[in-house]
Amino acid sequence: MNPDVKESEMPTVSAPDFAEPVLPPAGTTDPLLLPPQETSQTNEQVKQVVERFKAVLSSLPEYLADFFGEYKRPLITLGLLFGGVVTFKLTLALLDAVDDIPLLAPTFELIGFGYSAWFIYRYLLKASSRQELSHEVESLKDQIVGKLPK
């Protein structure tokens, strides 16, 4: 404290002025609750909401059947696209997991090189084997497109 300031000049600090709680009259039991609405009006509103909810739920199967009937092809297309994307992601995850196994990736590479060498030797070196490969490819293409073999 500053010795030059007299005690009468010092500001007095008092407790903040808080409002005293107003107590309810002695005869009331729940002073903090709002006055209740009419219970019959509240019950009627609840019944209306429940009836609307039941009406929506009862018409839901009919609504869904109409929806799926109208949008069957686009929904199937979206389902197939989603399934294809999920399958692609799972395949990549599986290949990544297999690639992390030691010595397995180089083994698969050696198998691939061996199969490629056999395919070249079997089908691509001689003209007669190239002709055979060409006939097999044409036969497979005709089966896929829908033409019957001769």
pLDDT in tens, 105-124: 889 899 999 999 999 999 99
Tokens linked to 68: 């799926």
Q: What is the DSSP letter of 121?
A: I
Helices within 1-150 (DSSP H only): 39-70, 72-99, 104-119, 127-145
Rounded Cα distance, 68 and 76, in Å: 10
pLDDT in tens, 47-56: 999 999 999 8
Rounded Cα distance, 133 and 125, in Å: 11
pLDDT in tens, 65-81: 999 999 999 999 999 99
For residue 85, the model assigns a pLDDT of: 98
pLDDT in tens, 123-146: 999 999 999 999 999 999 988 888
- The number of angstroms, rounded, from the C-alpha of 142 to the middle of its chain's C-alpha atoms is 42
CA distances from 67 to 59, 72, 73, 116, 121 (A): 12, 8, 11, 52, 58
pTM: 0.41
